[in-house]
Chain A
Amino acid sequence: MPKPLTKQTRLLALAINLLQLCCGTLIIAILLILSGCHKTEVQTGGPVEITLWHPWGSDQAKGLQRIVDLYHHSQNRVRVRLVFTPTDLSTNQKFFTAVAANKPPDASFVDGTQVAQWAEWGALLPLDKYIQQAGIKPTDYYDPCWKQAQYQGQVWAMTYCADPNFAFCWNKELFRKAGLNPDQPPRTIEDIDAMAQKLTQDKNGRLLSLGIIPWSQYGSANSVFTWGWAFGGKFYDEKNGRITANNPRVVKAVEWMASYAKKLGITRVNSATSGWGSGASDPFITGNLAMRCVHISTLKDLTRYGPNLDYGIAPIPGTPDGEIGSSWVGGWLLALPRGCAHPDAAWDFVHWACATPEGTAAIAREVGLLPGYRRSPAIAQVKHDPRLGMFVKILEDSKHQRPVMPVQAFFMGALDRAVERAIYAKQTPQEAMDQATAETQRELDLVSGKKVQ
């Protein structure tokens, strides 16, 4: 039973109480001020600082910093602050959270396949107004580059780098050892089959070296696109908004891919590849893999880790009734997020980097990627390089880009799963592609159906 309080203790208790109240209020006030403090940021004179989120690591990031430095030298209105935020197809949460919270960066990189999706979700600002002012014409860009930046009649991003996917490369040393002409790459899928057979070596049931692994050209989905077009297939009917990944030609391509899984034994292939690495232990450098598709950025790794590697580079083989030398363009683009604080300043940088001779040349020089801007001096410079020149040719000839539609990430996932089911013989290629098509169509209808309402 507590004793009744004296007057002094009551006063003391009151004082303590008041003190607590004050402290509590103070803490909450401080928290509120802290959380709201960058709202009050005001630009007064001097250059405008913009934030650019980029997904690059190591060399690419250093190159981007040098590109930005060049931009700073060229003008004194805008300063670019680079912030590394990994955004790949599966981890864009950070960007979306920032946009949803109305605190986006001023500019961001966006993967070519994602432009339509991000535009559909309202994450980006349309750039048409700026493009008109700057006098940029669609013909300034390679067709696929311009096409994949467009959605619903508006332009949402500018091409930072066009990835001409892919070139085909072969190890001449392995060709010689297998008794093949080292200067004659395969031209057709049949050629690949014949050569792969000679290039495959095994010992006691264990695969030592392989000719080609059709499904591992930068992921299963990218492999299907590559071979699907090489077989003359189509993935998307833009006019009617229909997914056509179960097109007979595409199914044929998947059948061809799965035939290797069957011929070589998928578990044997997996146990062979499980020991493969990257860098200096890349199977193409160590001589465990004779033929592969290669992305422009891989060339540098091949030169760095395999300085004595004797290899050739050619267009992608295809079927005679399909497309020999088929290719498609991927790449990364720069976009302005919805709600960004300094859109004009951000555009100034995007314009410089993607649509001026200096900027696009800097990109080619500093990070070794090709711009999508036709008039860039970089194109003429690397055109006659024996290896990089092949990529310019591919870029100039390329007709395809992955479907520009708002459920592209889902489509890539569905294709990945379908190829896996086919090569593990869980389904026939026809069934697998039918399922991927139906799954994606349902998602697409959901998105476009919602718009009708």
Chain B
Amino acid sequence: MSNQTSKLKMTAMERQHLRSGLLFCLPGIVGLMMFTVYPVLASLYYSFCNYSVLKPPHWVGWGNYQVLMHDSQLGAALKNTVIYAAMAIPSGIITAFLLANLLNQKVRGMAFFRTAFYLPSVTPAVASAVLWVWVLNPQFGLLNTALASVGIQGPGWLSDPAWAKAALALMGMWGVGSWMVIFLAGLQDVPVELQEAARLDGAGSYASWRHVTLPFMSPHLLFASVMGLIGVSSFFAQPMVMTGGGPAGSTTFFAQYLFQNAFQFFKMGYACALAWSLAVVLIFLTALLFRGSTRYVYYGGD
């Protein structure tokens, strides 16, 4: 009997805890519902509509998705995005990884170097974009001046369709600080005893880096690739500020095309369809990346 009452009391208390817990979470939950879940679901609904914000949405079924299949501008934007991804993701990861390895050395003044290399990634995107417009200026820019001093006449970077994407990727390498920090944290987790064991077995510093450090870093590299993929698909601020999508459309990336449709032509339904298609493609690519990488990625204790 007493056992039963105590059980009942327990549930009452639990219920109370649940209620207080929920009450405390309420602002967060309401915020999540209003500002994340609802907009996401609404955008899915709008992707099946013609919707210009001002008039009520008008159901068109798969219409937007059909248009999207034959949209030549979308094709061009996708091509630009893929080319840019192929340049920016590997170059960014390699730069960040090399920097992290350098910054993992025991050198005096390391705190200074780490800060210096991390600093660009806390610079606001627009501010650094404006700065780079001048660095990349063909006549007065730092870059072409430096190139000229070794006898190379630099290209028109942002004003030449052939170089504009490369210029943006180059700028991206300057802002790899956040990846660098992740890699640095990963490098410091590589067990010292394994490295010592490798040394004792006669491995040189390259061999121990290649066969001990690199496998331990593989999850971080995979993570950076996935985030890079997502980052490229939403790459927006810098091209918007620096080139406005030009010259000759060579830096009109997916995100900008979506933005144009949504906020310039107010084709919200079509923009939502674009966004959802991108989400599906990204999920698919990420899954592919995870699948394809199981052989190469080593998760510590597993």
Interface set of A (CB-CB < 8 Å, partner B): 2, 4-5, 13, 16-17, 20-21, 24, 89-93, 96-97, 99-100, 121-123, 267, 270-272, 274-275, 338, 407, 409-410, 413, 417, 420-421, 423-424, 426, 439, 443, 446, 450
Rounded to whole angstroms, the CA-CA distance of A275 and B156 in the bound complex is: 12
CB distance from A106 to the nearest CB of B (A): 17
Asked if B263 and A17 sit within 8 Å, CB to CB, the answer is: no
CB distance from B135 to the nearest CB of A (A): 12
- The one of B9, B23, B137, B139 in contact with A4, judged by C-beta atoms closer than 8 angstroms, is B9
Asked if A100 and B137 sit within 8 Å, CB to CB, the answer is: no
Asked if B260 and A17 sit within 8 Å, CB to CB, the answer is: no
Question: Is B52 engaged at the interface, CB distance under 8 Å to the other chain?
Answer: yes
CB distance from B147 to the nearest CB of A (A): 13
Asked if B265 and A271 sit within 8 Å, CB to CB, the answer is: no
Asked if B26 and A420 sit within 8 Å, CB to CB, the answer is: no
Question: Is B247 engaged at the interface, CB distance under 8 Å to the other chain?
Answer: yes
Closest to B261 in A: A410
Residues of A within 8 A of B50 (CB): 446, 450
What are 6 pairs between A and B in contact, CB < 8 Å?
Answer: A13-B16, A96-B53, A100-B54, A407-B265, A409-B265, A421-B249
Asked if B58 and A450 sit within 8 Å, CB to CB, the answer is: yes
Residues of B within 8 A of A121 (CB): 52-55, 266
Residues of B within 8 A of A100 (CB): 53-54
Residues of A within 8 A of B160 (CB): 267, 270
Using A89-B264, A97-B53, A122-B54 as known contacts, say yes or no to A275 and B23 having CB atoms under 8 A apart: no
Asked if B54 and A99 sit within 8 Å, CB to CB, the answer is: yes
Asked if A426 and B260 sit within 8 Å, CB to CB, the answer is: no
Rounded to whole angstroms, the CA-CA distance of A273 and B10 in the bound complex is: 78
Question: Is B19 engaged at the interface, CB distance under 8 Å to the other chain?
Answer: yes
Residue among A90, A274, A417 with most chain B CB within 10 A = A274
Closest to A275 in B: B139
Q: Mark B146-157, 1 if CB is under 8 A from A, else 0.
A: 000000000110
Asked if A274 and B139 sit within 8 Å, CB to CB, the answer is: yes
CB distance from B243 to the nearest CB of A (A): 11
Rounded to whole angstroms, the CA-CA distance of A21 and B24 in the bound complex is: 10
Rounded to whole angstroms, the CA-CA distance of A421 and B23 in the bound complex is: 59
Looking at chain A's contact residues, is the secondary structure mostly helix, strand, loop, or mixed?
Answer: helix
- The one of B10, B140, B249 in contact with A417, judged by C-beta atoms closer than 8 angstroms, is B249
Question: Is B246 engaged at the interface, CB distance under 8 Å to the other chain?
Answer: yes
Rounded to whole angstroms, the CA-CA distance of A315 and B248 in the bound complex is: 31
Q: Which of B22-36 contact A (CB under 8 A)?
A: 23-24, 26
Rounded to whole angstroms, the CA-CA distance of A97 and B52 in the bound complex is: 11
Question: Is B172 engaged at the interface, CB distance under 8 Å to the other chain?
Answer: no
CB distance from B250 to the nearest CB of A (A): 8
Asked if A270 and B156 sit within 8 Å, CB to CB, the answer is: yes
Asked if A20 and B139 sit within 8 Å, CB to CB, the answer is: no
Residues of A within 8 A of B26 (CB): 24
Closest to B140 in A: A275
Residues of A within 8 A of B23 (CB): 20-21, 24
Residues of B within 8 A of A443 (CB): 265
Asked if B159 and A271 sit within 8 Å, CB to CB, the answer is: yes
| 10 further interface pairs, Cβ-Cβ under 8 Å (given A100-B54, A271-B159) | A2-B10, A4-B6, A96-B53, A97-B53, A270-B138, A270-B247, A420-B246, A420-B248, A424-B247, A424-B248
Rounded to whole angstroms, the CA-CA distance of A275 and B263 in the bound complex is: 31
Closest to B248 in A: A424
Residues of B within 8 A of A91 (CB): 263
Residues of A within 8 A of B13 (CB): 2, 5, 13
Residues of B within 8 A of A2 (CB): 10, 13
Asked if A271 and B138 sit within 8 Å, CB to CB, the answer is: yes
Asked if B20 and A17 sit within 8 Å, CB to CB, the answer is: yes
Closest to B240 in A: A90
Asked if A274 and B264 sit within 8 Å, CB to CB, the answer is: no
Rounded to whole angstroms, the CA-CA distance of A275 and B137 in the bound complex is: 8
Closest to A425 in B: B248
Closest to A420 in B: B248
Using A17-B19, A122-B55, A274-B137 as known contacts, say yes or no to A267 and B265 having CB atoms under 8 A apart: no
Question: Is B215 engaged at the interface, CB distance under 8 Å to the other chain?
Answer: no
Rounded to whole angstroms, the CA-CA distance of A91 and B264 in the bound complex is: 7
Residues of B within 8 A of A420 (CB): 246-249
Question: Is B161 engaged at the interface, CB distance under 8 Å to the other chain?
Answer: yes
- The one of A5, A13, A123, A275 in contact with B54, judged by C-beta atoms closer than 8 angstroms, is A123
Rounded to whole angstroms, the CA-CA distance of A338 and B54 in the bound complex is: 10
Closest to B55 in A: A122
Residues of B within 8 A of A96 (CB): 53-54, 266
Closest to B133 in A: A274
Asked if A271 and B156 sit within 8 Å, CB to CB, the answer is: yes
Rounded to whole angstroms, the CA-CA distance of A100 and B268 in the bound complex is: 13
Asked if B263 and A90 sit within 8 Å, CB to CB, the answer is: yes
Closest to A206 in B: B139
Asked if B248 and A426 sit within 8 Å, CB to CB, the answer is: yes
Asked if A409 and B264 sit within 8 Å, CB to CB, the answer is: yes
- 9 smallest beta-carbon distances between A and B, as pairs: A270-B159, A424-B248, A271-B138, A121-B54, A420-B248, A275-B139, A90-B264, A267-B156, A100-B53
Q: Which of B227-268 contact A (CB under 8 A)?
A: 246-249, 260, 263-266
Residues of A within 8 A of B24 (CB): 20
